Amino acid sequence: MQLPNTHRIWAMFIARNHEFFRDKATFGWNFLFPFLLIIGLGMVFNGKEYQQFKVGVFPVTTESVTVAETTLPIAFQQENQIVFIPIADQKTGEEKLSLHKIDLLVDGQSSTHTYWINDSSPNGSLAEKILLASFLPTGTAAEKQVISGRQIRYIDWLFPGILAMNMMFASLWGVGYIVVRYRKNGALKRLKATPLTPFEYLTAQMLSRIFHLMFTLIVVWFGVDLVFKFQMQGSYLLTLFIFFLGGLNLCSIGLILAARGTSEEFTSGVLNFISIPMMMLSEVWFSLEGAPKWVISLSQIFPLTHLLKAARSVMNEGATFGDVQWECLILLLTTLLFLLIASRIFSWNE
C-alpha cells in the first residue's frame, strides 16, 4: 500500500486555505453568524421566560411519575404544560436542576410541599408561579428551597451547543458541498491527472476545514466571553481538543457525502436531511430529559451528541479527560472509519 505523500497533502491544504480566505463573504459570515446568534439568545434568555416546563419529582424509582400518589395539588397535576420527570433522590434532582435538565424539583412526599429552584433558570421562575398558583384555592403554603452549591446559567449551558452547531454546518457544507461543486465544474478531473491520491486529497480538505473551524471557534469564544463572562469549570485545552475531534468527525461525514455526488441541489437536500435532525436531537437547544427512550437512543447515533456531552461535562462540571475519554474515543474511531470509507468510494469525476 502506497503511503500518503505529505508534500502533496500540504500543497492542497495551502491551496484550500488561500481559496477560503479570498472568499471574504463566507469568511466573515463564519464569525458574524455565531456572534449574532449567541448575543441574541443571551439577550432573550437573560432573566426572561419561555414555555417548556420539566418538573422533577422525587423519590421515584419507576420509569414514570404517578402524580396521583404524590402530595402535589390536583391543579398542578392536571397542568398540560408540565412534564413530570421521575427522580430517584434529592441529590440527583439538584444536579439535574443545576444543569438545566429540569426546571423545577419537588418532593412528592413532603407534607410541607417543599420544592427547589435554580434562580438562573429561564423556565424555573414561571414553573414556580404555576406551582404556587395551584395552591391558591386551598390556601396551602409551599416551602421554597434554592439548590445548594454552584448554579449554572442557561447561557453557560447553551454556549457549547451554539459553538457545536456552527461547527456542524461549517463542516458539512464547507466540505461536502464544496467538493461536489469542484467535481461539477471539472476541477477534480484535472487533479486526477496528478499523483494526488483520493486519501491525500480528502485528508487535505478535512485538515484545511478543521483549521478554519478551530480558528473561528477560538475567535468567537473569546469575543462573546467579553460580553457574557462564561463560567469555565474545566480545562480550556481539553475543551478545544474535544471540539477538534468533533470537527474532524463532522468533516469526515461531509466527505462521505461528497465522495460521488455531482448534483449541488441533491447534496444540499441530503445535508439538510442530516443536519436538522442532528441539531434537534443532540441537545443543542434543550435537554432531552424526559423524552421517550427511543428518542434518546436515536440521539446516540449522532456525533454531535457525544461532542456536546463531553464539552458540557468539561465546561459546566469540570470533568477531566478520564471522565470524557469514551466520547473522545467514539469521535476518533468513527472519524477514521468515515475517512477510509470516503477515500474508498471517492471518484474524481462521477
Helix (H) or strand (E) holding 143: strand 143-146
> Within 13 Å, how many C-alpha atoms sit on residue 121's CB side?
31
Structural contact between residues 154 and 45, judged by C-beta atoms closer than 8 angstroms: yes
Per-residue model confidence (pLDDT) at position 2 = 62
The CA distances from residue 262 to 45, 80, 106, 176, 330, in Å, are: 42, 49, 56, 11, 30
Domains in the chain: boundaries: 6-45+153-345, 53-146
Query: In this structure, what C-alpha cell is assigned to residue 63?
Result: 420509569
307-341 residue pLDDT tens:
999 999 999 888 899 999 999 999 999 999 998 88
Identify the segments of the chain with pLDDT beneath 50: 44, 47-50
How far apart are alpha carbons 100 and 151 in whole angstroms?
Answer: 9
How far apart are alpha carbons 284 and 287 in whole angstroms?
Answer: 8
108-140 residue pLDDT tens:
888 888 888 887 777 788 888 888 888 877 777
Per-residue model confidence (pLDDT) at position 44 = 46
The CA distances from residue 17 to 26, 53, 174, 240, 253, in Å, are: 13, 46, 12, 21, 20
How far apart are alpha carbons 10 and 200 in whole angstroms?
Answer: 9
Three-state DSSP class for 183? helix
Per-residue model confidence (pLDDT) at position 126 = 81
The CA distances from residue 51 to 48, 55, 67, 157, 279, in Å, are: 10, 13, 21, 18, 20
